[in-house]
Structure 1
Amino acid sequence: MDDIPVPIPAQPVRFMDRLRAFMRGRQLAYRTEKTYCGWIRDYIRFHKMRRPEEMGKAEVDAWLGHLASQRNVSVNTQKTALNAIVFLYRQFLNIELGKLDFDRTSKGQRLPVVFSHEEATAVIDKLQGHHRLLVSLMYGAGLRVMEAVRLRVHDVDFGHQCIFVREAKGDKWRRTLLPKSLAPSLQAQIELALSIHKRDLEEGFGAVYLPHALAKKYPNAATSPGWQYIFPAPDRSMDPRSQVMRRHHLGEQQVRRAVAKALSETGIRKKASCHTFRHSFATRLLASGTDIRNIQELLGHSDINTTMIYTHVIGIHERGVVSPID
């Protein structure tokens, strides 16, 4: 249940509670909230638990430089830490840091690892049941693992052959492809999920978690079929935050472990993971001639430069370039 926000007091007093309340008022995605809070805690601990209001540019430069020189973080990781600390000062504390001058990480940007189509299907063939369908959606629709496990019944539009991804990274919504070959399996999985939901209702449960204040705004939505997770957890569990017994979605770590096991069985030596299927989705579309702007929209990237990385992944042999020795 890592995607369910931790409760905070109605009138928060502690610093981190006030920060979380501020972030939620700004409608930040919960994963962004967790990431920013983690880096801000790291910053405070690095400076021996000093109050952020008592620190400024010099302390921020020292911390960011430490991440680069001592902890050897990547370029993107240092950027995320920078974004978190800038949010803290500019947005929450209303303090201008001025021009920062910190040591930037020297680790260059790495190209994403991708599968060939044969490798992707070989891994998928090693999977069974809902794990197979989930990973097929990652490859066929470009979903992140958390986006896949969080799909709800009303997110799939069979008529228009599309999938709606709601509250994705950066709290963005997008529409992506529904692979025709997966439609029958997805329909069967939805029917299974709704039969489990029906049984939960008969046993006095069946209210699913709803994001933000939807549970108050729409009291009946939590038990309606459309809001149910397509990939429900095998068992009901007590939500440690709300103390409500409910059935959550399948855990992303279960899917990661299944993919890791399948990778080892196929003997593929690449440093791959669930996210490799999303990278492979983008590169296969690019290799087949899909416009880069369409790929950007399907992946939900705000910046076209993020999508452009895949142009460097496509092998030059796929552009008709042949080695002189051949």
Structure 2
Amino acid sequence: MSNTPLRLQQRFRNTIYQHHYSIRTEQTYWHWIKRFLYFNHKQHPAKLRAADIERFLTHLAVDRQVAPATQNIAFNALMFLYNKVLRIEMIGIQAKRAKKRVNIPVVFTRAEVSQVIANLPADYQIMASLLYGSGLRLSECLRLRIKDLDFDQNTITVRQGKGNKDRVTLLPPNLIPKLRDNILVSKSVFAHDIAGTTMSYALARIIN
């Protein structure tokens, strides 16, 4: 077996999986790790020190003027890289912090939400309604399967959500007719696609 060390990205990905982080966290953390590496002229992070991390975080706050939350995400990504992936302890990081902005949140009324959804393409209206009515994250909505919908109990089972945890949330009753129609259309398209296709007996039995 080769003793060649895994490439940094593969080591990062393996560690992410071991800690059961979501795919969105993996993508976000790797984005900031790459930004950090390019900022330091693609040097291997094991050769860099706390001062290099501080320079990068200060650059984000001063030069890029990122939001405090964005700077914190970048900091968390780098701490994960060093503490979990490279097993190098980085403590006492001192960097200029991004100024926290005070913003008044804008909250749509129900009428405004209805108008936004009504102006979406038909294929996306059900998805947007699920996001609004069930509190689903976009990635959770995209991964939904028919078996996750319980029309009798008006519930949705979210599998492997944030933190790799399952949970149950509300299925708005007014969406059930649209979802049933959508399922019928999907089954019709599937039946058309497999028509005339030869399958092994066991696979055909499972599908049918």
Q: Which residue number in structure 2 is paired with residue 192 of structure 1?
A: 185
Residues 167-210 of structure 1, C-alpha deviation per residue, up to 9 Å, x if partnerless? 334433322111111111111112222222333333659xxxxx
Structure with larger RCO (C-alpha < 8 A, sep 6+) = 1
Residues 28-78 of structure 1, C-alpha deviation per residue, up to 9 Å, x if partnerless? 222211111111111111111111111121111111111111111111111
Residues 224-266 of structure 1, C-alpha deviation per residue, up to 9 Å, x if partnerless? 69xxxxxxxxxxxxxxxxxxxxxxxxxxxxxxxxxxxxxxxxx
Q: Which residue number in structure 2 is paired with residue 57 of structure 1?
A: 50
The amino acid that maps onto 2:38 is: R
Q: Which residue number in structure 2 is paired with residue 145 of structure 1?
A: 138
Q: Which residue number in structure 2 is paired with residue 132 of structure 1?
A: 125
State the identity %. 36
Equivalents in 2 of 1:149, 1:117: separation in Å?
A: 24
Q: Quote the offset at 1:99 in angstroms.
A: 1.4
Structure 1 residue runs of 5 or longer lacking an equivalent are 1-10, 206-218, 226-326
Structure 2 residue runs of 5 or longer lacking an equivalent are none
Equivalents in 1 of 2:72, 2:89: separation in Å?
A: 18
Residues 75 and 109, structure 1, Cα contact 8 Å, conserved in 2: no
Q: Which residue number in structure 2 is paired with residue 96 of structure 1?
A: 89
In structure 2, the CA distance between the partners of 1:140 and 1:224, relative to structure 1 (3 Å rule), is farther
Equivalents in 1 of 2:102, 2:17: separation in Å?
A: 32
Residues 32 and 170, structure 1, Cα contact 8 Å, conserved in 2: no
In structure 2, the CA distance between the partners of 1:155 and 1:27, relative to structure 1 (3 Å rule), is same
Equivalents in 1 of 2:94, 2:196: separation in Å?
A: 60
Q: Which residue number in structure 2 is paired with residue 80 of structure 1?
A: 73
Equivalents in 1 of 2:24, 2:196: separation in Å?
A: 33
Residues 57 and 95, structure 2, Cα contact 8 Å, conserved in 1: yes
Residues 31 and 169, structure 1, Cα contact 8 Å, conserved in 2: no
Q: Which residue number in structure 2 is paired with residue 322 of structure 1?
A: none
**What TM-score, normalized to structure 2?**
0.85
Larger mean CA deviation between 139-148 and 77-86 belongs to 139-148
Residues 12 and 21, structure 1, Cα contact 8 Å, conserved in 2: no
Residues 11 and 85, structure 2, Cα contact 8 Å, conserved in 1: no
Q: Rg: which structure is higher?
A: 2
The amino acid that maps onto 1:32 is: T
Aligned length: 201
Q: Quote the offset at 1:12 in angstroms.
A: 6.8
Equivalents in 2 of 1:125, 1:178: separation in Å?
A: 19
Which aligned pairs between 1:191-210 and structure 2 lie closer than 5 A? 191-202=184-195, 204=197
Structure having the higher helix fraction is: 2
Q: Which residue number in structure 1 is paired with residue 166 of structure 2?
A: 173
**Secondary structure at the counterpart of residue 163 of structure 1:** strand
Residues 141 and 176, structure 1, Cα contact 8 Å, conserved in 2: yes
The amino acid that maps onto 1:65 is: T
Equivalents in 2 of 1:128, 1:47: separation in Å?
A: 44
Which of 96, 114, 122 is 1:121 aligned to?
A: 114
